[in-house]
Amino acid sequence: MADNFNFELVSPERLLVSGSVSEVVIPATEGEMTVMANHAPTMTTIKPGIVTVKFADGRKDRYVVFGGFADIVPTGCTLLAESAIHVDEFNRDDIARRVEAARADLSTATSDEQKFGIETYLSQLTTLQGAILPA
């Protein structure tokens, strides 16, 4: 049986999760990470994606996040999201607004570095859109 650890998912609007979990899969910028008890201390940035939480009682839940960072220590993990919502509360209009805003930002970008950052974010949004909203 896996050890449990404390996990918190926090957005500027509210605390979405705070409790004992056995596993959390987070969309780290460098790729998905599975966090478990006794994980090596790590701090990572988060890209738009889905956080999957497996609670100590075996129940699973999913949340959509839009960037942020995670602080991981052997006894816990705190994910501070720029924006987060339960996957059941997510809707097509929200992601469409984010895609349109990113496209508008791209059209006014002045440097190659700025354009690259916006294009990367737009790609991440498009991937997320395909993952949670069937065509």
> Residue 72 pairs with which residues in a beta bridge?
42, 77
The one-letter amino acid code at 66 reads F
Residue range 5-87, CATH number: 2.60.15.10
pTM above 0.75, yes or no: yes
Helix, strand, or coil here: 95? helix
**So what's the pLDDT on residue 1?**
52
Model pLDDT for residues 2-53, shown as the tens digit of each residue: 799 999 999 998 999 999 999 999 999 989 999 999 999 999 999 999 999 9
| Domain positions in the chain | 5-87, 91-132
**So what's the pLDDT on residue 133?**
60
